[in-house]
A and B are shown apart, each in its own frame.
Chain A
Amino acid sequence: MAQNLNPIPPELFLWEEALPGGCHWSGILRRGNALRLTDMSGRANVSALFYNAEEKLERYNMPDTLKAQHTAHLTMGHVCYSDMGHVLCSLIADSCGWHDTVCGTSNAAMVQAKYGESSYQTHRNAMHRNGRDGLLVELGKWGLGKRDVVPNVNFFSKVVADEAGKLQFDTANSRPGAYVDLRFEMNVLVVLSAAPHPLDPRPDYAPGDVMLTAWKTGTPGADDVCRNSCAENQRGFYQTEILFR
């Protein structure tokens, strides 16, 4: 089955939900289903964490993901590894090209210092929100908390390092309509915050809206691009698939 589907065929469609800029979301995505994140305005950042829904002590592991695939960023062909050597999800399509893995989230102090005070009392649901608190609220719904916050993926954000390691945020990375498709290889708890990236240098608080679209993609075949992007991933997929035998 072709994995790169745009638009998604109606017979495969499962559900769609808007995630407004700044807001947070969590839910379960099952093995064989996919989630498309679409950057509606070109200014979205989606901080994401992934947990094995059946054993939430198993979770996305940034270093294992980067080391296995010899990469510091994510794009099509890469997968997100758990700390137990399993593939949680695969990037089966990506019209953006670079997703950050090393900068973490904004927090309340950072957002207040950068964008000023904007509380619920004065701004109702247009209040400023930050990535860490968004993730913590969603994690709390599943019995998780501060101990479970690990380095996250920041979808749609690009941060480049020079030779000395100094970081530069690329404001031109995404664009309106850019999307990334995540196919789930396990039953996964997905936790998202659409608050601004912590290194976004733009002075105004204007996190982009995101559309979440789920569909049935099926499980990957022997010729899958993510499975075959490196020998490490072939082993990772094998170890994931034996869980479901």
Chain B
Amino acid sequence: MTTFNLVESSLDPKTAVYDAVVNAGDPWIHEIRTGQVFRILDLEGNQAVDTLFYNAYDPEERYSAVDTVRAQGALYLTTGTQLMSTEGRAMLTITADTCGRHDTLGGACSCESNTVRYALNKRPMHSCRDSFLHALAHYDGGLTKRDITSNINFFMNVPVTPQGGLTFADGVSSPGKYVEMRAEMDVLCLISNCPQLNNPCNAYNPTPVRVLIWNAPEQ
């Protein structure tokens, strides 16, 4: 059994400059400035938080799952992981993590992939990629489906076996667990708080998460 390195944060939610709840199944889009610290808190446990990052000034530079995996020579995200861009630069660094493991291979659910994975009649169900498109359609940033690439699934456990199998394991998160990251550049963050109802990873019950931002500590 792999033991996780759990790292707590000393930041106090009372001093956060931004504090909001993202309801189950909703998207969230927000800028995070260089040096600011961003926390996602799993309020009720095992909620998948599908997350994309873009360079705030040049969104052609964006979070890259494969560059992140390649740069650290390892699949899972936790404290110390640098979230890498397509240009090979660190966008954010994970600085605290009381969950211990986050996925970046599993991607985001969509109507179309649900029809393949579960049944042809699942197409009408709400999905992360519909949430992403909904958020981008109302965000005046010129981003489209072309910009929806492979994301992070915070709080999801998707182990790869040494034989190369992919498994969706029981969640490793629980109510109150959080992951925190420091922005290394000004980024735009796009979240879909996953509405998936076909997968036991969230006990078939999507739940809200809390997002907080702290300003950079004074030098």
In angstroms, Cα B162 to Cα A165, docked, is 9
In angstroms, Cα B160 to Cα A91, docked, is 21
Which of the candidate stretches B24-32, B163-171, B186-194, B204-212 sits at the interface with the other chain?
B163-171
What are the interface flags for A37-72 relative to B under an 8 Å C-beta threshold, 1 for contact and 0 otherwise?
Answer: 000000000000000000001000111101110111
| B86-A199 in contact (CB<8A) | no
| B108-A164 in contact (CB<8A) | no
Residues from 92 to 112 in A contacting B, C-beta threshold 8 Å: 98, 102-105, 107, 109-110
| A72-B166 in contact (CB<8A) | yes
| B105-A66 in contact (CB<8A) | yes
CB distance from A167 to the nearest CB of B (A): 5
| A236-B116 in contact (CB<8A) | yes
The listed residue with most A CB atoms (<10 A of its CB), out of B60, B113, B115, is: B113
Interface residues in A, total, Cβ within 8 A? 48
Q: Across the interface, which residues of A come within 8 angstroms of B129, CB to CB? A: 83
In angstroms, Cα B166 to Cα A235, docked, is 20
> With A146-B86, A147-B60, A164-B2 in contact, is A235–B116 under 8 Å at CB?
yes
**At the interface, yes or no: B146 with Cβ under 8 Å from chain A?**
yes
- Which of A98, A146, A163, A235 sits near B115, CB closer than 8 Å? A235
Interface residues in B, total, Cβ within 8 A? 42
Which of the candidate stretches A117-125, A148-156, A204-212 sits at the interface with the other chain?
A148-156
| B115-A72 in contact (CB<8A) | no
CB distance from B85 to the nearest CB of A (A): 11
Q: Across the interface, which residues of B come within 8 angstroms of A150, CB to CB? A: 149-150
> With A85-B113, A165-B76, A167-B75 in contact, is A160–B162 under 8 Å at CB?
yes
Which of the candidate stretches B7-15, B63-71, B90-98 sits at the interface with the other chain?
B63-71
- Which of B69, B113, B119, B168 sits near A64, CB closer than 8 Å? B113
Q: How many contacts between A and B, using CB within 8 angstroms? A: 134
Residue of A nearest to B150 (CB): A151
| B73-A71 in contact (CB<8A) | no
> With A72-B160, A107-B88 in contact, is A166–B73 under 8 Å at CB?
yes
**At the interface, yes or no: B117 with Cβ under 8 Å from chain A?**
yes
CB distance from B74 to the nearest CB of A (A): 5
The listed residue with most B CB atoms (<10 A of its CB), out of A71, A165, A166, A239, is: A165
**At the interface, yes or no: A142 with Cβ under 8 Å from chain B?**
no
In angstroms, Cα B147 to Cα A238, docked, is 28
| A57-B146 in contact (CB<8A) | yes
Q: Across the interface, which residues of B come within 8 angstroms of A166, CB to CB? A: 73-74
Chain A contacts to B: CB under 8 angstroms: 57, 61-64, 66-68, 70-73, 81, 83-86, 98, 102-105, 107, 109-110, 145-152, 160-167, 198-199, 232, 235-236, 238-239
User: Which 6 pairs across A and B sit closest by C-beta, in order of nearness?
Assistant: A63-B107, A104-B66, A85-B112, A165-B75, A73-B164, A165-B76
